[in-house]
Structure 1
C-alpha cells in the first residue's frame, strides 16, 4: 500500500496542483530518502530553478519531469504528498519540501520512512533497476489477454497470487487488489498460474482491468493512512468483496470469507466461489 490506483490518484492530484510550478529551493530533513544522487545538496541544486513539466506514473512509481531531470518517487508503505502554503505548520514526519516561487510548497511525509526518490536525467530513468524490470501496465491498451497468457506460459510454476504480486509479471498490483481480482475471477489464490485454463485467463485479465479501473475512478482504497494530493480519502475500500472481510459472508454465496497466508501475505478468499480444483 499504496498500489497502482492510489499512485495514479496521487499523480492526477499532483498534475493539477503542481504542474508548471517552478522550484525555488528544496529542504531535505531525512537524507536517506534521496538515493540518487547520493549528495542531498547536489540533489537540491540540480532541480533548483526548474519547472515541473509533467507528472507521470509507471507501476507504483511516480515520475515528475523537472527541467532536464526526472524525479522517480516510490511511496512504499505510507509515503504521501501534499501541497501547502508556506505559512502552514509543517507536520511531523515531513522529510522533503519543494518550495515553489509562488509561495506554495509540495511536502513529502512518510511515517515509516521507507519511501525513496531518485533524480536522473530525462530518458535515463527507465534504466533504474526497479523500473527496468517492471512488467506490463495493466491499464494500458497493450495489456491484452494474449499478453497475460504469454506471461503465464513463460513461468513453469507458481501460485497465481504470488505471480500477480511480482512486479516483473504485471506492474502495480499489490495485496489488496490481487485478492479482489482473484475473487472476481473465481480463481483460488494458490492455483498454479501456468496451469490456468483459457476461460480462467480471460476472466483474470478482465478482472484485473475492471478492478483497477473502478478503484482509480473511486480514488483508490483508504485502508490505513492513504490520502490523495488534496488530503482526501479514496472510496474503493467500500467496494471490497473479500479483502479485510474474513469471517463475514461472501457477497455471492454467503460462505464465510477465509483468510490464509500465501507467499507470506495475508490472503482473503471465498472457499466456495474460489475452489482450488476449479
Structure 2
C-alpha cells in the first residue's frame, strides 16, 4: 500500500500539472471504485469543476475544487493515479478517467480495485472518507518529540502497532514503521508506554529521517506503486530491514527475524533492536 512518502510523491508530481485545470468530463469504467456519490452524479457534478489545490492527508489525496467541493482518493493496495497526455492510451485496469479542458487528464488505475474515490462538499466528504479521524502528520512542523511521547503514553500495545494506527499517526505503514524502528534501535514488540525519553527521541528523529528519505527517493516500489508520471520509486534500494527477513543485517550481519504483531508482520534485527 502506498504510504506517506509515496502519496506525497504522487501529490508533488501531479500538482504542477493539475492546478487551474478544468475537468471537462469524466469516464467511469468501474463504478465500484467510487465510494460516494453514485457514478452518474459523480460524472455530472465533477464536470466543469476547476482544480484549485491539491494536498495530502495521511495516505489520502485531496483535490480541492473551488471553495465548496473536494475530490478525495485513497489508493489502498494497488491504486495508481497518473497523468495522461491524451487519455487515448488506456492502461489495463483503468477504472476512471478525468479529462481536462484543452487536453490530457488523469487516469485512476487499480488492478485489485480496492482504492476508493469520494466526491462532495468539503466538510461532508472529509468526514465520509474518515479524514476527520486521522492522527497528526508526522512531518508537520508542529509534531515533535513531546507529541510522540503523548501518543505512546499509557499504551500497552507494541510500538509497531501504535505506529501503524492511523487514528494516532497519519500515513505510516508497514515499510516505514520497520525502517524507523531499526534506525532507532527499538524492538517492534516493545510496549509503546515503556519507551524511555531517550528512546522516544531516537524514534522521533528516525521517523523524520526515514520518511524524508522515502520522499527524496520518490517512494518505495516493489510492484504496483508509481508516481504521477508512471515512474517507479528508488527507495526499495535503501531499505535496511523491510522485506529482508532471513537475510543478514546490513549493519551487524545477524540474520533478520520476523514476527506477527496484531496481524501484521514486523522485520527486525535481534542484535541492533534488542
Name the TM-score class by shorter chain.
over 0.9
Match of residue 22 from structure 2:
22
Structure-2 separation of matches of 1:231 and 1:135: 29
Q: How does 1:91-106 map to 2 (within 5 A)?
A: 91-106=91-106
Match of residue 212 from structure 1:
211
CA contact (8 A) 2:87 2:97 kept: no
Structure-2 separation of matches of 1:86 and 1:184: 44
> In angstroms, what is the RMSD of aligned CA positions?
1.3
Q: Compared with structure 1, are the counterparts of its residues 54 and 87 closer, same or farther at alpha carbon in structure 2 (3 Å cutoff)?
A: closer
Match of residue 109 from structure 1:
109
Q: Secondary structure at the match of 1:65?
A: strand
Q: How big is the shift at 1:50? A: 1.3
What whole-Å deviation, never above 9, does each CA across 1:31-50 have from its counterpart, x for those lacking one?
Answer: 1211111x211111111111
| 1:136 is aligned to 2:136 | yes
Q: How big is the shift at 1:162? A: 0.8
Q: How does 1:149-228 map to 2 (within 5 A)?
A: 149-155=149-155, 157-228=156-227
How many residue pairs get aligned? The number is 273
Structure-1 separation of matches of 2:209 and 2:272: 18
Q: Compared with structure 1, are the counterparts of its residues 25 and 211 closer, same or farther at alpha carbon in structure 2 (3 Å cutoff)?
A: same
CA contact (8 A) 2:118 2:129 kept: no
Q: Secondary structure at the match of 1:228?
A: coil
Q: Secondary structure at the match of 2:24?
A: strand
What whole-Å deviation, never above 9, does each CA across 1:144-198 have from its counterpart, x for those lacking one?
Answer: 000010111142x101111111101111000000000110011111101111111
- Structure 1 unaligned regions, length at least 5: none
Structure-1 separation of matches of 2:154 and 2:120: 32
| 1:269 is aligned to 2:271 | no
Q: Compared with structure 1, are the counterparts of its residues 52 and 129 closer, same or farther at alpha carbon in structure 2 (3 Å cutoff)?
A: closer
Structure-1 separation of matches of 2:128 and 2:184: 33
What whole-Å deviation, never above 9, does each CA across 1:210-244 have from its counterpart, x for those lacking one?
Answer: 10011111111012211100111111111100111
CA contact (8 A) 2:87 2:99 kept: no
Q: How big is the shift at 1:123? A: 4.0
Structure-2 separation of matches of 1:27 and 1:115: 17
Q: How big is the shift at 1:246? A: 1.7
- Structure 2 unaligned regions, length at least 5: none
- What TM-score results when the alignment is normalised by the length of structure 2? 0.96
